[in-house]
Amino acid sequence: MPPPLPETEPDLFADYARLPGVADELFDSDGRMRPVWQRFVQRFARLSPDEVAARFERGNQYLRDAGVYYRQYSGDPLAERDWPLSHLPVILHDSEWARICAGLAQRADLLEQVVADLYGPGRLVAGGHLPASLVAASPQWLRPMVGVEPSGGHYLHLVAFEIGRSPDGSWLVLGDRLQAPSGAGFALENRMATGRIFPERFPRAYIHRLAGFFAEFKAAMTGLAASGGDPAARAAILTPGPSNDTYYEHTYIARYLGLMLLEGEDLLVEDAQAKVRTIEGPQPVGVLWRRIDAAFADPLELDADSQIGTPGLVEAVRAGNLALVNALGSGVLEMRAMMAFLPRIAEVLTGRPLAMPNIATWWCGGAAERAYVRDNADKMLIGPALSSDLPFDVTARTAPGGRFAGGVEGDPGAWIDAHGADLVAQEAVALSTTPAWVTEPGGALAEGRIRPRPMTIRVFAARTPQGWRFMKGGYARIGQSGDATALAMQKGGSVADVWIVSDRPVPAVTLRPRKDEPFRRASPGVVPARAADNLFWLGRYVERTEDAIRLIRAYHLRLAATDNPGDALLRRLRAFLGGYGIDVGQPMPVALQQRIGAARVCAAKVRDRFSVDGWAAIVDLDRTAQTTLSKIEPGDDAARAMGVLLRKITGFSGLVQDNMYRFQGWRFLSFGRALERADALTALLHGLVDDEAPEGALDLAVEVADSVITHRRRYSVETSRDTVVDLLALDADNPRSILFQVRAMREQAAALPAAMENGRLAPLSRAIVPIDALLSVTGPERIRLPHLRRLRAQLAGISDLMTAAYLR
């Protein structure tokens, strides 16, 4: 490593000052800049405020373009907040990181022994080292898992630790994350963003990469999947679904590692074997990276009210046919009260103290502990013993500094005496601070200043055949203010990349194949039935929405032209739209918003299967419709608003339909779109091309079908019933015709699995072929209302056949 630069105080850091009584990541206890920070500070400080703002905006733009967000708990299950990146990294030397990892590896092994004992021989409880009442009261201790040995022999495979630096400079464990540790994927995205902000630093600063951690973890999961004895068993991620606050991370990791992303309904258990429902039939699953809380995993043996689990999952685990990362019930180790006993348990089980101590913790179930906590309450944070919240997660049920939070009245001393067994006290530790770029609310990035802010680091470790492997970096939480209780993102905190810096060049680890490896084209993989179902309905909802937008726009254009709501054509169109629940008396009909929302929900459930731009497009469409709701008037204004929505939804259709890889999932999207368009065109002809249709109805039908120019070129005459029916029903070259869409369905159905049965067409294709034949040989004069009604019924039958064949 080059010699350190002179210790100067560059302008951007001139007014940075350590806070009294706390450690600081930039300056040591003697007030000297830590060597690991010096070169970064010297180069960063040369930037002007405008250059700093431009760099930070590059990072923000990457996160927006990549669609990185976290789910914010609110009344809207799809409410999202932009990822709150703190643009300056946290920097540690790899020698210090090695000491951190050594201490946490000991802790990971200890926790493995504890959970194995709790669900095995129970010696810790029998020996009085853990209160039986405390363990039994934990909602994370799962009695059905007692005596169940995990496939592969281990309970814990991926662990995370929240750590913070104490005022004396040593590190403390603030919390163990074992249930379903989150943040590893976000750490990757933080790294990608900071790579845009400081591109010149990575080649020269000897910063360890993160990809090696994921490569080793994926290899370990692949080996674990085969441990059940079925070499065809797959590894997958089990997610609670789009409403989860870290769902983006689930989709990102699934794409990054090439794993299936499954929800509980994707799985079934047959003969104690977990299988994923796919369009090709059930396929075995050997390991699930569980991102769902354990109690919800199986409604048969665990929480009977769970709507997101898989019946029989525990049976598959008990039989040794399914490994879980991590084992069901491991969340019992996360409760705050466990930290009160771990130091003693470490001595009992290993004969050594904890190499990295956890935050001092007292369970208030004993008289001596209650008395001590009561006498020292002003120096502690008191809260629920069974909670897995971290010390800085202050709620109305906690009493920091001996006073209830949130203005709640009461005597904490009496509370402790009355409910001691339900409470735990933890030392109120002043966390170390790190440099953060702070702007005033509503202020510009260029107006920010570097200020010390409290921080913690989440450290990740994965079990491999070679032992615990630690991510050489992590995920830092940065406080919004000097208050350590404002670290959580839900409270306005932010997150930062963690750089582990070496004195010498580090390996350029990547998941890309090595240059000397032979080229291998990867298989697109199987498509879960639920994913196919959502793609099918995404195609339908998007097409249904576009059709509604075109009809509403046509109505308001004519309303503006006639200024007569009683006009015969407008009455006909109102009645036609009313049949779909669309009230054109509302300039932005609620029913239209519901269609857009349904499309977005389907897209959210298959977000790992199409581009970031596609997702951004449908989110933009949804937000535009919502913000336009109360701002438009009937007539020209509403017509212009529909034009904006039309351009946005056709943009989304183009991005997804044209750019998606032509795997089987794309065929379901295309089939759904073709089926919906064929049905919409059939309904349009039925509603506007009958003999009693008012003047202008034929032109309206051609306009709504986006075929005005085509009609002029094709027929060179005014619209007539025959020309309109010929163009919109029977023209095989017109993408806006029924026959064109029927043939598109026929093509996609022929390419789906099991398209043939015993040498004959499967029922789905057999239902499409007669429609194709009839439309191919019928003249427009023979297409009457009964034919159109019958055709709509046939199309509905095709939808049912698709569901029966592939989507259950």
444 has a pLDDT exceeding 90: no
User: Distance between CA atoms of 794 and 757, rounded to whole angstroms?
Assistant: 21
Tell me which H or E stretch contains 81. strand 80-82
Q: At what angle do helices 342-350 and 94-118 cross, to 10 degrees?
A: 80
User: Distance between CA atoms of 430 and 379, rounded to whole angstroms?
Assistant: 11
Q: What is the pLDDT of residues 357-381, one digit of tens each?
A: 999 999 999 999 999 999 998 888 8
78 has a pLDDT exceeding 60: no
- Residue 454 in contact with residue 485, Cβ under 8 Å? no
What are the chain's domains?
360-427 (no CATH), 529-660 (1.20.120), 662-808 (no CATH)
Structure tokens given for 153: 């022999």
Q: Which residues contact 553 (CB under 8 A, 6 or more apart)?
A: 638, 639, 642, 643, 646
Positive/negative CA dihedral, 664, 670, 676, 679: negative
Distance (Å) of CA 281 to CA 278, 626, 734, 762: 5, 40, 36, 15
Using pLDDT thresholds of 50, 70 and 90, give the confidence band for residue 629. low
pLDDT for 486 equals 47
pLDDT for 264 equals 95
Helix spans in 461-562 (H): 529-562
483 has a pLDDT exceeding 70: no
Q: How many CA atoms lie within 13 A of 471 on its CB side?
A: 27
228 has a pLDDT exceeding 70: no
Instruction: State the SS3 of 711-753.
Output: HHHHHCCCCCHHHHHHHHHHCCCCCCCHHHHHHHHHHHHHHCC
Q: What is the pLDDT of residues 704-749, one digit of tens each?
A: 999 999 999 999 889 999 999 999 999 999 999 999 999 999 999 9
What number of other Cβ atoms are within 10 A of residue 497's Cβ?
Answer: 29
| Identity of the residue numbered 647 | R
Distance (Å) of CA 498 to CA 90, 463, 501: 5, 21, 10
- Residue 756 in contact with residue 750, Cβ under 8 Å? no
Q: If you search the block for the tokens 């702007």, which residue do you land on?
A: 439
User: Distance between CA atoms of 502 and 465, rounded to whole angstroms?
Assistant: 26
Taking alpha carbons only, the member of 509, 512, 515 closest to residue 212 is 509
User: Distance between CA atoms of 153 and 613, rounded to whole angstroms?
Assistant: 43
DSSP E strand boundaries for 472-616: 475-478, 494-501
Q: If you search the block for the tokens 């943040």, which residue do you land on?
A: 183
Tell me which H or E stretch contains 69. strand 69-71
Q: What is the pLDDT of residues 590-624, one digit of tens each?
A: 999 999 999 999 998 888 887 788 888 898 899 89
Structure tokens given for 471: 């991510």
Q: What is the pLDDT of residues 297-351, one digit of tens each?
A: 999 999 999 999 999 999 999 999 999 999 999 999 999 999 999 999 999 999 9
Cis peptide before 326 (omega within 30 of 0): yes
Structure tokens given for 65: 């373009």
Give the bridge partners for 380, in sequence order. 427
Q: If you search the block for the tokens 């015993």, which residue do you land on?
A: 758
Q: Which residues contact 372 (CB under 8 A, 6 or more apart)?
A: 362
- Give the distance from CA 325 to its chain's centroid: 18
Distance (Å) of CA 805 to CA 273, 675, 753: 23, 16, 10
User: Distance between CA atoms of 692 and 96, rounded to whole angstroms?
Assistant: 84
Instruction: State the SS3 of 407-454.
Output: HCCCCHHHHHHHHHHHEEEEECCCCCEEEEEECCCCCCHHHCEEEEEE
Q: Which residues contact 484 (CB under 8 A, 6 or more apart)?
A: 392, 430, 431, 454
Q: If you search the block for the tokens 């007014």, which residue do you land on?
A: 15
Using pLDDT thresholds of 50, 70 and 90, give the confidence band for residue 545. very high
Q: What b/e sequence results for 769-785 when a residue is b if at least 16 CB atoms lie within 10 Å of its CB, and e otherwise?
A: eebeebbeeeebeebee
User: Distance between CA atoms of 498 and 213, rounded to whole angstroms?
Assistant: 14
Structure tokens given for 240: 């609670």
pLDDT for 10 equals 46
Q: What is the mean pLDDT of the chain?
A: 90
Q: Which of 54-63, 123-132, 203-212, 635-644 has the lowest mean pLDDT?
A: 203-212
- Give the distance from CA 70 to its chain's centroid: 7
Q: What is the mean pLDDT of residues 277-282?
A: 94
- Residue 287 in contact with residue 225, Cβ under 8 Å? yes
Helices and strands of the chain, counted as H and E runs = 25, 22
Query: If you ran DSSP here, which 8-state letter would residue 285 be given?
Result: E
487 has a pLDDT exceeding 70: no
754 has a pLDDT exceeding 50: yes
Tell me which H or E stretch contains 98. helix 94-118
505 has a pLDDT exceeding 50: yes
User: Distance between CA atoms of 39 and 269, rounded to whole angstroms?
Assistant: 56
Tell me which H or E stretch contains 494. strand 494-501
**What's the N-to-C CA distance of the chain in angstroms?**
60
Distance (Å) of CA 574 to CA 55, 580, 586, 701, 708: 53, 10, 12, 14, 22
User: Distance between CA atoms of 403 and 117, rounded to whole angstroms?
Assistant: 37
| Identity of the residue numbered 11 | D
